[in-house]
Amino acid sequence: MKELVFGELIVLKGQHCLRIPVEMGINTLCVEVIEGKIRINHGAYTPDGGTWLSAPTGRKAHYDFSSGDNDRIDIDIQESFGRQDMLSVVNVSLFHKALLRIIH
């Protein structure tokens, strides 16, 4: 999965996604959606299958944004089974692009 570059204008076509680089602890993200709909996924590592598809215990797993949204969110990144949580952003539409910018 490719990694998002903070501050750059990003175009996601189809249901493509990017990994959001984060550090342990509270991460503050400013999310601006210029066009389309996106979802930020917060996944905790699970050794069953070796994926980050599990919802983080006691924390929100999904953040949805639509065209015109300009929000600030605080996300608590922790560790599960010795692996740091992962964030990704995905375009939720198969047929329409999403245009966005995320600042850390």
Number of C-beta neighbours around residue 29 at 10 A: 19
The H-or-E segment that residue 27 falls in is strand 25-35
**What CA–CA distance (Å, rounded) separates 26 from 90?**
21
47-83 confidence digits (pLDDT tens): 988 888 888 888 999 999 999 999 999 999 999 999 9
Contact 10, 101 (CB under 8 A): yes
6-62 confidence digits (pLDDT tens): 999 999 998 899 999 999 999 999 999 999 999 999 999 999 888 888 888 889 999
Residue 63 is predicted with a pLDDT of 98
Residue 57 is predicted with a pLDDT of 85
Q: Which domains does the chain have, with CATH numbers?
A: 10-103 (2.60.120)
Contact 45, 51 (CB under 8 A): yes
The residues that bridge with 43 in the sheet, in sequence order, are 86
Query: How many residues are given for the chain?
Result: 104
